[in-house]
Structure 1
Amino acid sequence: MSSSFRAPPVPPSNEVDLVELFQAVGAQKKLIAVVATAVTLLAVAYAFLAKPEYQVSSVLRPAAINELDSLNRSEVYQLPPAAALIKVGAALESYETRLGFFRANQTLFKEFVRPGRTLEQSFEEFNRNSISLTLPDPNKSDLLSSYIRLDLNYHQGIDGVAILNGFVDYAIAAEREQIAADMTVIVKNRINELEGKLKAARASYDADKEARIATLREADTLKRAQLQDEIKALRTQLRTLRADRMSQLNEAISIARSLNIQKPTTPTSLGERPGTASSVMRTEINNQQIPLYFMGVEALEAERVALRKRTSDDFTEGRIAQIARELQLLQTNREIEVLNERKNEDVFLSGVQSLRAEEVRLRNLNVDMSRLKLVTIDKQALEPLGPIKPKKAMVILLGAILGLMLGLSIALVRYLFTKKRNDKAVGVQPLGRLN
């Protein structure tokens, strides 16, 4: 009886022998050295051939309080030091301010100008990554923690110091001009507001004056009408009294004629008989009013004639003279004349003294904006001692490390690839057939 037996193949082992691995990597030390040397040489070439990049910085801090005192004491524009620093920082970060500086100083940016580019495109290349701004923390209000740091990165051939210092000065000047323009507008608006209030006060005064004059004239007209009515009534009354008096005289003359009284007499004398002589002197005391006819015909007729010839009874009443005097005074109202003859009526306006004082103060306001110090330049940009990029020693060291790691990686990959291929090629031979 014969049988055939074939042993199963032994699967390759997935475990890596570290000793064998180190030996295999050591056997490829020339490859590792070549790769490391090549990468290091590339790093050396980059370190010495790359265009150096430099950095300059400037630091701004809040100005002293006395630097802004003249502006704040104007009571027109309030600007604390911290707020002034933030305004300057906003100007430094403003695209418009940067573009304005770029346009005003094109000689400093000639390295950024390229054929076929517009001015704005050349500026965009500069503005994209060149300037970085660090603003103060808005949650901190103390002056020590408030600052603005401005960094400028530039390549060799560009005057970064002049650009950064010039840009800081330009932004401060632009913000100063903006504050001056704002202040001019505010002062002008306030003066216009004060002038409007003064015009309103003048209009109110004119209305009050016209109302006062109208009131006075109305009062004069009313008083004149009342006096004229009164004098008319008095004259009517006097005419009536004269007519009554003439009627009384007519009656008394008739009685006197009937009694044959030609001369003024008394009741006692009338009672004596004619032809009686007496040497006695009589004194008559009589509390009763003597009738009018005792005046005699002659006196009564004389009075009647005088009354008939009278053309006016005004002299008999003192009130008429007083009325004539008052009417004469009413012909001219001196208060109205004084009101109309006022030359400078502004002095009579009430409640405008403070407005005039404020207007004069604003018109004479003189804040020297050219000497206004918005911020303190704590640090100006200075020529750097060396480039920030590339750092040659670090680049060469990193190149050597990366070259060594790359060489080791290549050697390891070669070892693993070779081992895998050998494992596939080497197999277990079949055992002989058993009989």
Structure 2
Amino acid sequence: MTSISRIPGGSSSDEIDLFALFQAIWQQKKIIIAATVVSGLVALGYVYAVTPEYQVTSVLRPAAINELDALNRSGVYTLPPSEALLKVGASLESYDSRLGFFRDNQELFTQFKRPGRTLEQSFEEFNRDSLKLVLPDPKKADSLSAFIALELNYPKGVDGVQILNGFVDYAVKAEREQIASDLKVIVNNRLTELKGKIDAARSSYEMGKEARIAKLQEADNLKRAQLQDELKALRQQLKVVRTDRMAQLTEAIGIAKSLGIQKPTTPSALGDSARMGDSSVMRTEINNQQIPLYFMGVEALEAERSALQQRKTDDFTEGRIAQIARELQLLQSNREVEVLKQRQNEDVFLSGVEPLRAEVVRLGNLSNLDISNLKLVSVDRKALEPMRPVKPQKALILALGVLLGAILGVLIVLIRHLLGTRRAQLSGVGSPVMTAKLSSEKGSGKVLQNDRS
């Protein structure tokens, strides 16, 4: 017997027999069975009343290296397979990507729409409760390679397989278009930069050519001015020489007239003619001294003076003047300047632009790179039609319903038994010795004797 409690100074003690308690539960087993059946029926009704919910999963893994080789060999855009997988994963998780797919395929989401809600509100519920991106746990090393999984929970009547596979294709296509757009912008920026360098080289060449022409023309002008100055000085010099010669001739003529020298003669011949008269003598004279000019005779001197007075120009007397005239004639046109000005395709003369032009051609060929078939990820597992719903779990719910019903029935029986025992104790307070044995027709528990000492 188990003593439950004692009242100090009192005259009674309460004791409960566990066997009687179990007997009471057994006697009222109908209540337990009824509660279990009712709870099971409620669970069964819930199972068949609630809309089944299914789950599909798609798993993505990094693409093969050769799939991205053409893009990586372009030299302007590098995309390893792992980074491509992360880009697609970011697109799958992107709110804008999900909303864009929701807007473009509203016929697939009719069951998610509710009256009085906007399109964005309906999408918010779908995005919050249905889609889930699963990433590998970095703390676990049991995965042989990186992956990204996308799970979709959807109610019965929704084509979840088409939604998930369509969204994966939509995200991959969107990321592929983004890569194509990025590649185009990068190539255009690089082409703009290269064309700017080529334009700078062309501008530098044009400035250099103009500077070269200016230097050549300046040198020609300087040379021409120097030759003209030399020619003017030579002519002035020749004029002075002619004038001096005429003065010498005039002086010599006066001396020759005073000596009566009409014909050219020598000092010896002049002395002999005075002594010998008209005798004809042939002489040979060797003299290292310069014979004065008047010995040329008046006739020769006057003839020379007359010729000098009638001379128009003295240029023929100086060979340098002819050379100057030749050089001035050559300076009339600079052939190098003419060739520089007559160049048609000046780009062929640009220096250091061959690598830039080759790069421009290479980048221009990148426009033929087919990005539409670029495989960013490998779809390791596509979403397939599920065999059974994930919610509700009928067996578990029925088991829980039955269990809860049994527990509820036991609690009802215990409460009734305790309440009956309590009423019996209250009715037996004050008698010196009381033995009570209660047998309830409704299945209440047996109460043991209560002795009061």
Superposition TM-score, scaled by structure 2 size: 0.86
Partner of 2:287: 286
Q: Distance in 1 between matches of 2:294 and 2:240?
A: 21
CA separation of 1:244/1:40 partners in 2, compared to 1, >3 Å: closer, same or farther? same
Q: Distance in 2 between matches of 1:194 and 1:11?
A: 109
CA separation of 1:256/1:398 partners in 2, compared to 1, >3 Å: closer, same or farther? same
CA separation of 1:140/1:412 partners in 2, compared to 1, >3 Å: closer, same or farther? closer
- For the pair 1:405 / 2:382, whether they are aligned, the reply is no
Q: Distance in 1 between matches of 2:137 and 2:415?
A: 53
The letter for the 2-side match of 1:107 is E
Partner of 1:252: 252
Q: Distance in 2 between matches of 1:256 and 1:175?
A: 119
The letter for the 2-side match of 1:388 is V
- For the pair 1:216 / 2:216, whether they are aligned, the reply is yes
- For the pair 1:36 / 2:36, whether they are aligned, the reply is yes
CA separation of 1:328/1:417 partners in 2, compared to 1, >3 Å: closer, same or farther? farther
Residue of 384, 395, 398 corresponding to 1:396: 398
The letter for the 2-side match of 1:348 is F
Q: Provide the alpha-carbon RMSD of the alignment.
A: 2.7
Partner of 2:175: 175
Alignment of 1:255-270 (within 5 A): 255-270=255-270
Secondary structure at the counterpart of residue 289 of structure 1: coil
- For the pair 1:351 / 2:360, whether they are aligned, the reply is no
Identity %: 65
Deviations 1:36-68 (A, max 9, x none): 222222222223332211111111111111111
Secondary structure at the counterpart of residue 46 of structure 2: helix
Structure 1 residue 115: Cα displacement: 3.4
Deviations 1:133-187 (A, max 9, x none): 1135689999942111011111111111111111111111111111112222222
CA separation of 1:82/1:199 partners in 2, compared to 1, >3 Å: closer, same or farther? same
Q: Distance in 1 between matches of 2:417 and 2:281?
A: 193
CA separation of 1:329/1:17 partners in 2, compared to 1, >3 Å: closer, same or farther? farther
> 1:136·1:145 contact (CA, 8 Å) conserved in 2?
no
> 1:99·1:123 contact (CA, 8 Å) conserved in 2?
yes
The letter for the 2-side match of 1:406 is L
Q: Distance in 2 between matches of 1:258 and 1:147?
A: 134
Q: Distance in 2 between matches of 1:274 and 1:16?
A: 202
The letter for the 1-side match of 2:332 is Q
Structure 1 residue 428: Cα displacement: 3.8
Deviations 1:67-113 (A, max 9, x none): 11111111222111111111111111112211221222222222223
Residue of 371, 374, 399 corresponding to 1:372: 374
Q: Distance in 2 between matches of 1:409 and 1:67?
A: 67
Partner of 1:91: 91
CA separation of 1:71/1:140 partners in 2, compared to 1, >3 Å: closer, same or farther? farther
Partner of 2:389: 387
- For the pair 1:81 / 2:81, whether they are aligned, the reply is yes
Partner of 2:447: none
Secondary structure at the counterpart of residue 297 of structure 2: helix
Alignment of 1:134-173 (within 5 A): 134-136=134-136, 144-173=144-173
Q: Distance in 2 between matches of 1:388 and 1:406?
A: 28
Partner of 1:275: 276
Superposition TM-score, scaled by structure 1 size: 0.89
Q: Distance in 1 between matches of 2:351 and 2:130?
A: 63
Q: Distance in 2 between matches of 1:69 and 1:143?
A: 25
Q: Distance in 2 between matches of 1:332 and 1:169?
A: 74
Q: Distance in 1 between matches of 2:322 and 2:143?
A: 89
CA separation of 1:425/1:246 partners in 2, compared to 1, >3 Å: closer, same or farther? farther
Partner of 1:4: none
The letter for the 2-side match of 1:299 is A
Q: How many residues align?
A: 424
- For the pair 1:427 / 2:429, whether they are aligned, the reply is yes
Gaps of 5+ in 1: 1-6
Deviations 1:265-324 (A, max 9, x none): 223222314436889864322222222222222111111111111111111111111111
Q: Distance in 2 between matches of 1:421 and 1:224?
A: 145
Secondary structure at the counterpart of residue 241 of structure 1: helix
Query: Which sits farther off after the overlay, 281-290 or 374-383?
Result: 281-290
Q: Distance in 2 between matches of 1:364 and 1:37?
A: 78
Q: Comparing both chains, which one has the higher relative contact order based on Cα–Cα distances under 8 Å and sequence gaps of 6 or more?
A: 1
Q: Distance in 1 between matches of 2:288 and 2:138?
A: 114
Structure 1 residue 335: Cα displacement: 1.7
Q: Distance in 2 between matches of 1:38 and 1:234?
A: 141
- For the pair 1:200 / 2:220, whether they are aligned, the reply is no
Secondary structure at the counterpart of residue 409 of structure 1: helix
Structure 1 residue 421: Cα displacement: 4.8
Query: Which sits farther off after the overlay, 113-122 or 292-301?
Result: 113-122
> 1:135·1:148 contact (CA, 8 Å) conserved in 2?
yes
Partner of 1:230: 230
Secondary structure at the counterpart of residue 378 of structure 1: strand
Q: Distance in 1 between matches of 2:55 and 2:164?
A: 10
CA separation of 1:285/1:43 partners in 2, compared to 1, >3 Å: closer, same or farther? same
Secondary structure at the counterpart of residue 276 of structure 2: coil
Structure 1 residue 16: Cα displacement: 5.8
Q: Distance in 2 between matches of 1:140 and 1:193?
A: 47
The letter for the 1-side match of 2:400 is L
CA separation of 1:321/1:419 partners in 2, compared to 1, >3 Å: closer, same or farther? farther
Secondary structure at the counterpart of residue 369 of structure 1: coil
Deviations 1:204-235 (A, max 9, x none): 22222222222222222222211111111111
Query: Which sits farther off after the overlay, 91-100 or 202-211?
Result: 202-211
CA separation of 1:270/1:142 partners in 2, compared to 1, >3 Å: closer, same or farther? farther
Q: Distance in 1 between matches of 2:121 and 2:284?
A: 141
Q: Distance in 2 between matches of 1:190 and 1:81?
A: 25
Gaps of 5+ in 2: 1-7, 434-453
CA separation of 1:413/1:289 partners in 2, compared to 1, >3 Å: closer, same or farther? farther
- For the pair 1:109 / 2:128, whether they are aligned, the reply is no
